[in-house]
Amino acid sequence: MKKQSPTKYSSLMNRIALTLLVSCILIYFLGRIFSFSKWLTIAVGGYTIVADIIFLVLECVVTFLVVYFIPVKIFNYMQGNSFREKCIPAPKSILSKDLILPVFALGLCAQFVGYAINSTIVRAFTEYTGFGDQYEFFSGMKHGYQIVIYIISIAVIPAIFEELIFRKTFCDALAPYGPKTAIFVTSILFSLMHTSFERIFHTFICGLFCSWLYIGTKNIKLPMLLHFLNNLFAAIEVVLWYRVSEDAYSTARVVRLVISLVVSIVCFIYLRAKRREQLDAERREAKSSDRYDEYLEKKKKYAHYTEMLPDENGEEVVSLSTKQKISGFFSPAMIAFIVAVIIQMCYYLSFELV
């Protein structure tokens, strides 16, 4: 029986953190360039449909390079075959077909409930402390084509490229350390990358379900669709604010919150019942086949180690303990990344979006 190396796990955390740090730096500087270019365009000749389309195309290209292509190339270069953990996840299905839709629906609704709670707390804090200056974060949508461009920028582009980097790249890299590790680590990093106290909780929930769907089905299209719908609904609410009225925006949010609460409760109860049914079926099968002692021993074994994984040769590999994974997560580069993100989040908290 072999054991996974904590050093390799910590090294992987360093490489992921360095990749995200590079991405953050590129996003910051390119964001400043984009802002200055738009300001200059408005000052010189006004903001026309041609300028909108040009900036949209540039945003697509830059997002592809900054959020996906360059980070993935850097990560793969640092990863190298010599650093890879020679283990593969246990060949078992995490999500059966009858659970995919409830998990998808729960993820779509629970993240909005989380956002409502998270944003309420942050806004109450800023109002109580007086910490924050109001400013208008979007110039409005006077033309129909601006709505299309806004939805593409907010919903389509992030859903594709963010899922490719966090799910397709990071989840696959973390898979040898167990599905739970891959799901939670990528969700935490996904949440931190949004650099907002107002969104940190609901982006974690969104990342949690996107990673769960990807790990459970190995189908990147499902988390992309969940991410897209989540951002699309948020974009529609913003459109209602600018094109209809503040009352329409508020009504839409209340209706969405009520529906999300109801669907979340129903899906959660259903998934709990299915899980209990699955455990009971496993227990009955073990008793009927005279493997009950083996079943209990396996449960005890899994309770001690977070995951039991076969390596590429089929030999059993003992995964790292939860304590080792937590301590390995806080590698030097990861600590630097978290500190940089917290500083940026505190800076953004000095503004209140209106």
Contact by Cβ (8 Å): 149, 50:
no
Specify the amino acid at residue 331.
Answer: S
Rg (CA), the chain: 23
pLDDT score at 191: 94
pLDDT score at 83: 45
CB neighbours of residue 348 within 10 Å? 14
pLDDT score at 82: 42
Number of H helices, E strands in the chain: 14, 5
Contacts of residue 211, Cβ cutoff 8 Å, sequence gap at least 6: 166, 167, 171, 182, 183, 186, 187, 190, 223
pLDDT score at 144: 74
Contact by Cβ (8 Å): 344, 26:
no
Scored b (16 or more CB within 10 A) or e, 87-126 reads bebeeeebbeeebeebbbbbbbbbbbbbbbebbeebeeeb
What are the extents of the domains in the chain? Answer: 2-353
Per-residue pLDDT of the chain (354 residues; tens, 9 = 90+): 566 778 888 999 999 999 999 888 887 787 777 777 777 776 676 666 777 777 777 777 777 777 778 888 888 877 664 444 444 444 445 677 888 999 999 999 999 998 888 888 877 776 666 555 443 434 456 677 778 878 888 888 889 989 999 999 999 888 888 888 999 999 999 999 988 888 888 899 999 999 999 998 889 999 999 999 999 998 898 888 888 888 888 898 899 999 999 999 999 999 999 888 877 777 777 677 766 666 566 655 554 444 445 555 555 666 788 888 999 999 999 999 999 999 888 877 765 443
Instruction: Report H helices in 46-163.
Output: 49-63, 70-83, 97-129, 144-151, 157-163
Specify the amino acid at residue 311.
Answer: D
